[in-house]
A = this chain, B = another copy of it.
Amino acid sequence: MLTLASDFGSPYPAAMKGVVLRESDARLVDVTHDLPRQDVRGAAFWLREVLPEFPPAVHLVVVDPGVGTDRAALLVRAGDHALVGPDNGVLLPPARELCARQDRDPDALDAFTLDPGDPASHTFHGRDVFAPWAARVHEAGVGNAAALDGVDPAGSYQDLQFPAPTVDGERAAGEVLVVDGFGNAVTNVPGTVLDGRYGGEVAVNGEPAPVRRAYARVAAGERLVTVGSHGNVELAVDQGRGDEAFGLSIGDSVRVER
């Protein structure tokens, strides 16, 4: 199985699919091609949420604002999974979570650089570098990929950590990491700060808002604070956009007071 994820929208993902299908007999699964555009951190957040649901697979991940520069091509092995993509940090959060779900040490990742060869373009390494490598890793098998010509242990690589929230008694502070398509503003504040407050209220950046377990527990159009499927505090509006109602964008600070 080979999954594909990118911020390409349309139609560039098709070129990657064609390359992979030409060079392997992998079963293809589209993860998404609408990752937050050029947003390495946001993309890593979503991939950390969704890739660990998959059975063992090679995951081709291309969110690559540095395409054509000298950033490396990377292979990261996470147990029975492999991730192939640019060395800009995007692979690391999902790789660590994939390890954790397999009861492996999330910090004992195997990372390798991939020889990019002489790619046909400087602007589309998804097609010219990463897709061919993902196909090769798939054909070799994740366990054998390290022995392939052009694969070398990575002396170092770009890591990416999400900002840590501050949790202090009755107060927590963090920021908006991503906004999903429904308009829910997803923060890095752990959902546990809402424990014991369901049915009541907290203050978000000083303004009171109801705490509910489900969107439809407030009237349509009303604001609420909940814990999203990722376990973090999420600022939402039932059948509306939480980002707008709370006036929050990616990177904005969020204080939650119980």
Binding site for B on A (CB under 8 A): 1, 3, 5, 8-15, 17-19, 21-22, 28-35, 37-38, 46-47, 49-55, 65-69, 120-124, 127-128, 180-182, 213-217, 226-229, 234, 238-239
Contacts and interface: CB of A to CB of B under 8 A. Distances in A.
Nearest to A38: B239
Interface centre among A11, A15, A17, A33 (most CB of B within 10 A): A11
Contact of A34 (B10, B19, B239): B10
Contacts of A217: 68-69
A214 B79 CA distance: 34
26 contacts: A5-B11, A9-B181, A10-B33, A10-B35, A11-B31, A11-B47, A12-B180, A14-B30, A14-B53, A15-B50, A15-B229, A17-B29, A17-B31, A17-B53, A18-B51, A19-B53, A22-B55, A30-B30, A53-B127, A66-B216, A67-B215, A68-B214, A68-B215, A122-B214, A122-B227, A123-B228
Contacts of A120: 229
A123 B54 contact: no
B11 A32 contact: yes
Contact of A213 (B53, B68, B229): B68
Please give the count of copies of this chain that the complex contains: 3
Contacts of A69: 214, 216-217
Nearest to A23: B55
Contacts of A182: 9, 37-38
B123 A227 contact: yes
A10 B181 contact: yes
Contacts of A238: 65
B215 A53 contact: no
Contacts of A19: 53
A230 B111 CA distance: 31
B11 A127 contact: no
A49 B16 CA distance: 11
Contacts of A34: 9-11
A19 B51 CA distance: 10
B65 A8 contact: no
